[in-house]
Amino acid sequence: MKIAIFGVGLIGGSLALCLKETPGVRIVGHSGNPKSVEKYLKRNVVDEATTSMEEAVKDADFIFLCLPVGLLEDYLLKISALPLKPGCIISDVGSTKQSIMACADRLKLKDVHFIGGHPMAGKEKSGVEAATSHLFENAYYVLTPAADTPEEAYGKLSELLSRTKAQIIRMEPALHDDIVGAVSHLPHIIAVALVNQVAQYNESNGLYRLLAAGGFRDITRIASSEPIIWRDILIHNRDVLLKLLQDWNGHIERFIQLLEAGDGPGIEREFLDANRFRGELPERRKGMITSMYDVYVDVPDKPGIIGKITTQLGNHRINLSNIHILENRLDAPGVLRLTFREEEDMNRALKVLQELGCAYHY
């Protein structure tokens, strides 16, 4: 079985690592950049790599387009013009589905099947260097076949992707874009707008930036996402987001009315309703917005204590994403924030902190 992957970055590289150990599977990576091809091979993420699109797709049983949303339609157009193996299944990993599905429908592919895909997992880091074989584990992987997609083709793709240990979900493209727009795209817009609002206030008083730490920094973390990638995502899901933003304005108007009326019970009900629904959300599922795990450690104002903690974490080969001294005053305990990308790393770190006798909370 030959699998061609266009764009062997975080998602494409992780997909390759999940599938390349399967007996009888050969993974071919493609990039138009020769240096990227060398990197794929050097890191042993794929079995072969090439700058030739025709060579990559020749006799391929599966083709995955692991590219930014803004490039998907162009690549699908180019690939559809090449000689493809009859029965070949093409899929993508974009976070919007209606536009690419419409493109595939316009192309009227013959003897080839396009099935939209979206693995709802990721990391803050990008590139093949960040690829890992367990990226999709415990995540949802959405597939959006067209109405005329043969069940046999869908079954083949679903079976192949089950090797990523993700949970496969079948969904209509429009419903996918509605849901992902609400739980991922809209929050990114809100975070960016909120940060920019505070940034404007900060122009006249630097205390805004000084005090915008802790919770504010945490809830707006996604405002630091890659601008070009998110430009394309939002444009491709424009109609859905315009409706969502109108609904959002309605919820904000509701708070304006409650505050103008001094309606304490009404404000309380809003928080109670939000608390109730949020409490029902799954905690141990990977999602569109990358989870981060923070541990706050109380450390005495003594030389070497921070080095001792980080050294012990390193000795246990625990991957620490970030470290930040939040507070360190003379003759008073400091607060050290340790950030982990994986819950497993956080849990292992907690055991180390216990052994060191450190007080912490998370």
Q: Categorize the per-residue pLDDT at 331 as very low, low, confident or very high, splitting at 50, 70 and 90.
A: very low
Indicate if the pLDDT at residue 129 is higher than 60. Answer: yes
* 98 in Cβ contact with 173 (< 8 Å): yes
Q: State the pLDDT at residue 131.
A: 87
Q: State the pLDDT at residue 87.
A: 96
CB burial readout 94-133, b (16+ within 10 A) else e: bbbbbbbbebbeebebeebbbbbbbbbbbbbeeebebbeb
Indicate if the pLDDT at residue 14 is higher than 90. Answer: yes
Share of the chain above pLDDT 90, in %: 64
**pLDDT tens digits for range 214-239:** 678 888 888 988 899 999 999 999 99
pTM: 0.80
**Which amino acid does the sequence have at 153?**
A
Tokens of 159: 């079976």
Indicate if the pLDDT at residue 250 is higher than 90. Answer: yes
Q: How far apart are CA 192 and CA 266, in angstroms?
A: 28
Q: Kindly report the CA angle at 63 between 87 and 83, in degrees rounded to 5?
A: 60
CA 119 to chain CA mean position, Å: 8
Q: State the pLDDT at residue 137.
A: 87
Q: How far apart are CA 166 and CA 159, in angstroms?
A: 11
Q: Categorize the per-residue pLDDT at 283 as very low, low, confident or very high, splitting at 50, 70 and 90.
A: low
Span 16-31, average pLDDT: 93
Q: How far apart are CA 164 and CA 137, in angstroms?
A: 6
Q: Categorize the per-residue pLDDT at 7 as very low, low, confident or very high, splitting at 50, 70 and 90.
A: very high
Span 206-221, average pLDDT: 85
**pLDDT tens digits for range 52-103:** 999 999 999 999 999 999 999 999 999 999 999 999 999 999 999 999 999 9
Q: How far apart are CA 355 and CA 45, in angstroms?
A: 37
Span 101-121, average pLDDT: 94
Span 184-202, average pLDDT: 96
Q: Domains for the chain: give ranges and CATH numbers.
A: 2-171 (3.40.50.720), 176-279 (1.10.3660.10), 293-361 (3.30.2130.10)
Please write down the long-range contacts of 209-213, taking CB distance under 8 Å and 24 or more positions apart: 213/326
Share of the chain above pLDDT 70, in %: 93
Span 258-279, average pLDDT: 96
* Bridge partners for 170 per DSSP: 143
Q: State the pLDDT at residue 11.
A: 94
Asked which of 13-22, 198-207, 334-343 is least confident by mean pLDDT, the reply is 334-343
Q: How far apart are CA 108 and CA 80, in angstroms?
A: 9
Higher-confidence position of 284 and 225: 225
Q: In angstroms, how far apart are the furthest CA atoms of the chain? A: 74
Q: State the pLDDT at residue 330.
A: 41
Other C-beta atoms closer than 10 Å to the C-beta of 242 total 10
Q: State the pLDDT at residue 294.
A: 78
Q: How far apart are CA 267 and CA 33, in angstroms?
A: 55
Q: State the pLDDT at residue 259.
A: 97
CA 170 to chain CA mean position, Å: 19
Q: Categorize the per-residue pLDDT at 301 as very low, low, confident or very high, splitting at 50, 70 and 90.
A: low
Q: How far apart are CA 32 and CA 16, in angstroms?
A: 18
Q: State the pLDDT at residue 152.
A: 97
The C-alpha R_g of the chain, in whole angstroms, comes to 24
Indicate if the pLDDT at residue 284 is higher than 60. Answer: no
**Which amino acid does the sequence have at 154?**
Y
Asked which of 151-165, 217-231, 261-275 is least confident by mean pLDDT, the reply is 217-231
* 2 in Cβ contact with 63 (< 8 Å): no
Span 310-322, average pLDDT: 85
Hey, is 109 helix, strand or coil?
coil
Other C-beta atoms closer than 10 Å to the C-beta of 173 total 20
Helices (H), the chain: 10-19, 34-42, 53-57, 69-80, 98-107, 151-161, 173-180, 186-202, 207-211, 215-219, 227-236, 238-260, 264-279, 305-315, 343-356
Higher-confidence position of 114 and 288: 114
